[in-house]
């Protein structure tokens, strides 16, 4: 039962910490049992190390699980059967047979390992949530401290329950799984520029500082031993102490990351301490190995050559590790260059290659941490450029998640391990001496090195920096894992070392960092967020400095960086970057980014899009104008037969209810965003659907810009407003009403046309809401517009080029007697493609001719109302040829020259606005020039309407207003 | 002068330069030898062509700009003193200098002077204003050449 004592031979000794606690558990009260069961599960080896089937044959310490009596027999240990060893399975099989067929079976042994891992992660995560419930609490106590405390509590519970620590941090688990996740995250997101800018300092602290710490601590401890401060029981020689010094002296990346990120030290300080903690891995590994071999050989047999071998080993381990990392970085970059078709596995490549870099380095016993770090640093630039935005996000979040959870586990395990008394032996002398020496030497080392470094550094490290650095020299899980790895046979004092390491780790993490002093120091110091990007400005500075270095003939840092950048640009990037990325301008990227951010921020602010002005204006206007419209109708009725067709339309002017609906529709269509699709029409394992979010961002941006344009324009034309007469206001309100009536007519047509005629992705906008209007409007208007259109397509060429302005402005409603001048989709399509352009040109020329003149003579108010009714509106849309408008207007070949046309249109529009300031101003909110192609359709539609009246057949009527 | 190389740099000249620019003696002599090596015409002054001969500068997007900065307005020759004066802008500010407070003349490497120097790099027509076009020119130049450098986002 007590498997730990008789492990299967195949198990590596360090896996023996696996535990089965059920025996004792079963003796306890059932309530307690439940609790303990949970705890026990947690403590069972959490991660992959267990997958090998680390378990011993398990006689079946039947925990008659109180929670699940009906769950069938308690075969092979409902509690914790550790694996499905052959014996166990046999047993199980027998029992199953014996019991006959069971409806429900207790398959704990089957799911055990992943189950425990999952539970473990769950508890760790929940613990994190709980810690962060209280803001004030977490600002006072670092999270890592809380996790260690939690670990202590959990460990204590288990200890009470089983009289024996069941689990402690397993070195192989730590080094193969937990550490790489943290280092990988750190390396990949390392601010490379900052790292290399401070490389000199980092290397100094990492190499010189660590060596200094290791030797001083080792020798001092030995001296303390000789002086009798350390108890006699600690059987350790000089070599043992040096070994211990080596492993205890290294600053630990896990702890540094955990604590420094939490307290937000300034970026330079962070990168120096963190970089040190990464790079000193090589030093620690080498020292550790060298000492181990020395201890094995025996100090007496060490020859001078061995010391040199040690130095050589250091170089090989560090440089070799770096090279392995860089090689993998290149491979990774190269692979991601070709993942365009399989975007979905891009993140996987990143994780795999980075992890492989770590494992490969470990394979050759090189510095794995260095390897992984440099793989991350090196590949980041190319990978980030190659992979899609989504993959980038995936990589980022996955790495952060993994690192965070690994860190949590490490700290909890540290706490748990500390409780196991059997693993360590206490010696006050050793512990206190170590603590004192570590802090003293760290402080001395930092001050000394900083003093030297400050003579070379452009930005000197000031006193507070030094204090933080001395304080921040955190020892952590790496040291602990290393000390656990020690061979108790050779290092007699291992247990003492373990105890000391635990204390040191706890002390450094909890007291040092939790110290209010550090908090105060740091908070009063600098809290700049990590600045990872290189702005255009700093690029300019780089170039300036490089140029000056070149002129001065110095082969300095900037010179070499420039050389590297040239090399990178000429060779590496060509090799590792996609062609499309390679050519992409950075400025463009930045511009895009800024735009998107802008758009999002506007939306976050609640959007000035939905202003009260826009909401109220149309509806008020239309309400006021309703009687006006009727007047117009009457007027039209009185005047000639040509109106008939139009009269239908006007008679059909919907009731106020419908009108309100339409207003609502417009407001909504103008301000709401396209509904998100809930369902994907198809599912593919290999491709991600097009980003809903991206589309939304774009939409947000476009709307934002549009509304800005509107406000800009309306302010611009405010002055004109005052010049207008009251009458005009009325007319305008008519106008608005009409707009609101007619606008939706066109809209419904858009979607189909959009898709049919244009490939422009943006055209897909406004599919959703616009359909609302269709019900209300389409039926009335469509039929009428079709015949009109037919007319149009034939009439334009023979246009008389000088119709009075008022006439030319007459829209479908206003064009008295004009045989239905509307253009419909179907109609315009009839125009041959090659003629289209000519037609457009003729229209635009007409436009320019017709627009300037205004009705000179005083007109009958109604007539002017009439003319204005149509006039301004089409004009504001005089997109010559309404380029790019897909729907109602001449929809055919314009897509190609749509953009210039739009510009032109704006120009024309501006001219018009000078002429009809009020009108256009009122128009703005409803139809701004910036509308998306889809939304611009109305203009096209109307535009063709405008141009029609002058057409031959309509001429007699069109002149009428002026004659009046 | 060039042919006589650095030997011609007299002590009092060095002292003078030292005072003005804050460079150390050894720095001055080293830069002087650089100066003479750049001075192909061997006439004690550098012309624009001399600068343009530096291969690294040719590929530097801001190279022309920097070279311009070495030449006072209207001149196309720069002597060693002017050379040093320009370079002095790039000398780091040291702590003891910060406290010294020289009211008489601000050192060339003061914050203000550095900013002024950077400003002049953008101010092409030297009207003490950076026009939109000037800014665009500089930025464009940087970015066209820099198309490749993808920043480390996040």
Domains of chain B, first to last: 11-91+107-147 (1.10.238.10)
Confidence (pLDDT) at A13: 38
**Nearest beta carbon to residue A533 from set B56, B59, B151:** B151
Question: Does B118 lie at the interface with A, CB-CB under 8 angstroms?
Answer: yes
CB-nearest to B149 from A380, A553, A586 is A586
**B130 touching A, CB under 8 A?**
no
Alpha helices by DSSP H, listed for A639-691, are: 644-651, 656-671
Residues in a beta bridge with B47: B77
Digit-coded pLDDT (tens) for A647-677: 444 444 455 677 777 777 777 766 666 655 5
CB A503 within 8 A of CB A435: yes
Q: Name chain A contacts of B54, Cβ cutoff 8 Å.
A: 550-551
Set of chain A residues whose Cβ sits within 8 Å of the Cβ of B95? 460
Specify whether the CB–CB gap between A800 and A955 falls below 8 A: yes
User: B79: helix, coil or strand?
Assistant: strand
How far apart are the CA of B104 and the nearest CA of chain A, in angstroms?
A: 26
| ipTM confidence | 0.71
Residue B59 has pLDDT above 60, yes or no: yes
H or E element at residue A329: helix A304-336
DSSP A920-938: HHHHHHHS-TT--HHHHHH
CA gap A377, A373 in Å, rounded: 6
Please, are residues A352 and A372 in contact by the beta-carbon 8 Å criterion?
A: no
- Give A884's contacts (C-beta < 8 A, 6+ positions apart): A758, A760, A894, A895, A898, A899, A901, A902, A933, A936
Distance CA A540, CA B139 (A): 8
What are A447-499's pLDDT values in tens digits?
888 888 887 776 677 777 777 777 766 677 778 888 888 877 777 778 888 88
Cβ separation B34–A553 shorter than 8 A: yes
How far, in whole angstroms, is CA A550 from its chain's centroid? 40
Query: Taking the domains of chain A in order of start, what are their residue ranges?
Result: 170-528, 531-599
Task: Give the single-character DSSP code of A681.
Answer: S
Kindly report the CA angle at A543 between A540 and A546, in degrees rounded to 5?
Answer: 150
Q: A876 and A912 in contact (C-beta within 8 Å)? A: yes
Query: Of all residues in chain B, what percent are helix, strand and coil, respectively (each to 5)?
Result: 60, 5, 40
Whether residues A550 and B150 touch (CB distance < 8 A) is answered with no
Total-model pTM: 0.55
Cβ-nearest to B54 among A193, A380, A550: A550
Q: What is the CATH number of domain A170-528?
A: 1.20.1530
Is B45 strand, coil or helix?
Answer: strand
Q: Do B152 and A191 touch (CB under 8 A)?
A: yes
Q: Give the tens place of pLDDT for each residue, A255-303.
A: 777 767 666 667 777 888 888 888 887 788 788 888 877 777 776 677 7
Q: In chain B, which residues have their Cβ closer than 8 Å to the Cβ of A565? A: 149
Identify any residues that bridge with A554 across adjacent strands, giving them in sequence order: none
Q: Per residue in A922-931, pLDDT tens?
A: 444 444 444 4
Distance of residue B60 Cα from the nearest chain A Cα, in angstroms: 7
Question: Is A817 strand, coil or helix?
Answer: coil
State what percent of residues in chain A have pLDDT above 70: 46
Number of CB pairs < 8 Å for A and B?
A: 103
In the predicted model, is pLDDT for residue A357 greater than 90? yes
Q: Do B152 and A559 touch (CB under 8 A)?
A: no
Give, in order, the Cα–Cα distances in Å from B54 to each of A551, A563, A569, B67: 7, 14, 20, 11
pLDDT at position A695: 63
pLDDT at A797 over 70: no
Q: Which of A189, A389, A547 to mutate to test the interface with B (most CBs of B within 10 A)?
A: A547
User: Given a cut of 80, is residue A639 above it in pLDDT?
Assistant: no
CB contact under 8 A, A547 and B59: no
Strands B45-47, B77-79: pairing is antiparallel
- Judged by a CB distance cut-off of 8 A, whether residue B84 touches chain A is no
Please tell me if residue B99 touches chain A, with a CB cutoff of 8 Å: no
Contact with chain A for residue B93, Cβ under 8 A: no
Determine how many CB atoms are found less than 10 A away from the CB of residue A755: 13
Angle between the N-to-C axes of helices A917-926 and A898-915, in degrees from 0 to 180, rounded to the nearest 10:
130
pLDDT of A523: 55
What average pLDDT score do residues A3-7 get?
38
Residues of A with CB under 8 A from a CB of B: 189, 191-193, 380-381, 384-385, 392, 396, 458, 460, 532-534, 536, 539-541, 543-548, 550-553, 559, 562, 565-566, 568-569, 573, 581-587, 589
**Which residue, chain included where needed, has tokens 């029992």?**
A95
User: Would an 8 Å CB–CB cutoff place B96 in contact with chain A?
Assistant: no
- What is the C-alpha to C-alpha distance for residues A249 and A288, in angstroms, rounded to an integer? 11
The pLDDT of residue A355: 92
Taking 90 as the threshold, does the pLDDT of residue A324 lie above it? yes
* Contact: A587, B63; criterion CB under 8 Å: no
């Amino acid at each position: 039962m007590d498997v730990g004592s008789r492990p299967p031979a195949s198990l590596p000794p360090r896996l023996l910490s696996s535990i089965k606690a059920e025996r004792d558990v079963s003796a306890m009260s059932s309530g307690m049992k439940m609790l303990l069961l949970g705890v026990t599960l947690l403590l069972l080896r959490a991660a992959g190390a267990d997958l090998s089937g680390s378990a011993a044959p398990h006689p079946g310490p039947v925990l008659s699980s109180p929670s699940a009596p009906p769950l069938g027999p308690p075969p092979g240990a409902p509690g914790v059967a550790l694996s499905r060893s052959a014996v166990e399975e046999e047993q199980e099989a027998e029992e199953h047979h014996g019991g006959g067929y069971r409806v429900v079976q207790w398959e704990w042994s089957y799911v055990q390992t992943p189950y425990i891992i999952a539970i473990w992660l769950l508890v760790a995560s929940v613990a994190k949530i709980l810690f962060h419930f209280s803001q004030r609490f977490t600002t006072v106590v670092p999270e890592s401290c809380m996790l260690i405390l939690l670990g202590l509590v959990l460990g204590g519970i288990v200890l009470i329950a089983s009289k024996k620590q069941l689990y402690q941090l397993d070195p192989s688990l730590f080094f193969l799984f937990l550490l790489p996740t943290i280092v990988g995250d750190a390396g990949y997101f390392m601010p490379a520029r900052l790292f290399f800018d401070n490389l000199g300092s980092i290397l100094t602290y990492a190499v010189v500082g660590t060596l200094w710490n290791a030797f001083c601590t080792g020798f001092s401890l030995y001296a303390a031993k000789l002086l009798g401060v350390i108890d006699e029981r600690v059987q350790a020689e000089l070599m043992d102490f040096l070994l211990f010094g080596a492993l205890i002296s290294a600053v630990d990346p896990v702890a540094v990351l955990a604590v420094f990120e939490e307290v937000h030290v300034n970026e330079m300080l962070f990168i120096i301490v963190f970089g040190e903690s990464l790079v000193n891995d090589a030093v620690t590994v080498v020292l550790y190995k060298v000492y181990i071999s020395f201890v094995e050989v025996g100090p007496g047999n060490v020859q001078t050559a061995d010391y040199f071998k040690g130095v050589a080993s250091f170089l090989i381990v560090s440089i070799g590790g770096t090279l392995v990392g860089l090689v993998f970085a290149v491979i990774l970059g190269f692979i991601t260059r070709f993942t365009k078709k399989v975007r979905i596995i891009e993140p996987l490549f990143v994780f795999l290659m980075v992890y492989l870099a770590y494992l490969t380095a470990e394979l050759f016993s090189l510095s794995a941490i260095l390897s992984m770090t440099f793989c991350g640093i090196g590949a980041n630039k190319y990978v980030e450029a190659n992979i899609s935005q989504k993959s980038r996000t995936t990589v980022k979040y996955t790495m952060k998640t993994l690192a965070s959870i690994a860190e949590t586990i490490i700290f909890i395990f540290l706490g748990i391990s500390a409780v196991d008394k059997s693993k360590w032996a206490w010696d006050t002398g050793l512990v206190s001496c170590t603590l004192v020496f570590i802090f003293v030497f760290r402080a001395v080392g930092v001050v000394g090195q900083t003093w030297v470094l400050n003579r070379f550094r452009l930005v000197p490290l000031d006193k507070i920096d030094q204090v933080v650095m001395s304080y921040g020299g955190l020892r952590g899980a790496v040291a602990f894992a290393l000390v656990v790895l020690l061979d108790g046979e050779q290092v007699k004092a291992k247990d003492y070392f373990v105890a000391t390491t635990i204390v040191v780790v706890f002390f450094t993490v909890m007291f040092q960092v939790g110290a209010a002093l550090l908090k105060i120091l740091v908070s009063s110091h600098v809290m700049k967020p990590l600045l990872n990007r290189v702005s255009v400005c700093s690029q300019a500075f780089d170039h300036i400095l490089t140029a000056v270095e070149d002129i001065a003939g110095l082969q300095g840092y900037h010179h070499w960086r420039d050389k590297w950048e040239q090399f990178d640009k000429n060779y590496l990037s060509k090799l590792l970057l996609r062609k499309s990325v390679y050519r992409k301008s950075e400025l463009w990227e930045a511009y895009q980014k800024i735009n998107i951010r802008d758009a999002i921020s506007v939306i976050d602010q609640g959007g000035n899009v939905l202003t009260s002005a826009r909401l109220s204006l149309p509806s008020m206007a239309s309400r006021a104008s309703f009687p006006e419209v009727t007047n117009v109708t009457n007027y039209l009725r009185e005047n000639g037969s040509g109106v008939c067709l139009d009269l239908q339309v006007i008679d059909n002017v919907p009731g106020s209810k419908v009108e309100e609906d339409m207003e609502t529709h417009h407001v909504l269509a103008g301000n709401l965003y396209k509904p998100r699709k809930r369902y994907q029409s198809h599912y593919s394992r290999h491709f991600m659907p097009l980003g809903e979010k991206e589309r939304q961002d774009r939409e947000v941006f476009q709307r934002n810009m549009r509304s800005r344009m509107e406000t800009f324009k309306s302010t611009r034309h405010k002055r004109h407003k005052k010049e207008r007469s009251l009458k005009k206001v009325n007319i305008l309100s008519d106008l608005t009403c009409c707009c609101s009536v007619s606008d939706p007519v066109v809209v419904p047509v858009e979607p189909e046309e959009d898709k049919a005629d244009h490939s422009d992705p943006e055209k897909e906008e406004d599919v959703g809401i616009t359909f609302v209007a269709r019900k209300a409007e389409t039926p009335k208007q469509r039929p009428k517009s079709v015949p009109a259109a037919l007319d149009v397509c034939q009439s334009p060429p023979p246009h008389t080029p000088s119709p009075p302005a008022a006439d030319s402005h007459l829209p479908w409603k206003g064009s008295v007697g004009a045989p239905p001048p509307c253009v419909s989709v179907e109609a315009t399509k009839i125009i041959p493609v090659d003629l289209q352009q000519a037609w457009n040109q003729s229209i635009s020329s007409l436009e320019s001719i017709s627009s300037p003149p205004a009705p000179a003579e005083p007109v009958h108010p109604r007539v002017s109302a009439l003319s204005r009714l149509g006039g301004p509106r089409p004009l504001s849309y005089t997109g010559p040829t309404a380029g790019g408008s897909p729907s109602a207007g001449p929809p055919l070949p314009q897509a190609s020259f749509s953009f210039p046309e739009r510009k032109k249109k704006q120009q024309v529009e501006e001219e018009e606005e000078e002429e009809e300031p009020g009108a256009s101003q009122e128009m703005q909110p409803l139809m701004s020039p910036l509308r998306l192609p889809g939304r611009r359709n109305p203009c096209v539609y109307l535009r063709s309407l405008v141009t029609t009246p002058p057409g031959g057949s309509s001429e007699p009527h069109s002149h009428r207003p002026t004659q009046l | 002068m060039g042919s006589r190389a650095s030997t011609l740099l007299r002590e009092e000249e060095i002292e003078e330069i030292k005072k003005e620019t804050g460079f150390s003696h050894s720095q001055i002599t080293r830069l002087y030898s650089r100066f003479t090596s750049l001075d192909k015409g061997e006439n004690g002054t550098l012309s624009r062509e001399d600068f343009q001969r530096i291969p690294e500068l040719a590929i530097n997007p801001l190279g022309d700009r920097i070279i311009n900065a070495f030449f006072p307005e209207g001149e196309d020759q720069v002597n060693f003193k002017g050379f040093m004066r320009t370079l002095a802008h790039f000398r780091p500010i040291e702590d003891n200098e910060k406290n010294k407070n020289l009211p008489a003349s601000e050192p060339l490497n003061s914050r203000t002077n550095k900013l002024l120097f950077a400003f002049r790099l953008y101010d092409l027509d030297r009207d003490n204003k950076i026009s939109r076009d000037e800014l665009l020119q500089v930025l464009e130049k940087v970015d066209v050449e820099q198309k490749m450098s993808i920043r480390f986002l996040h």
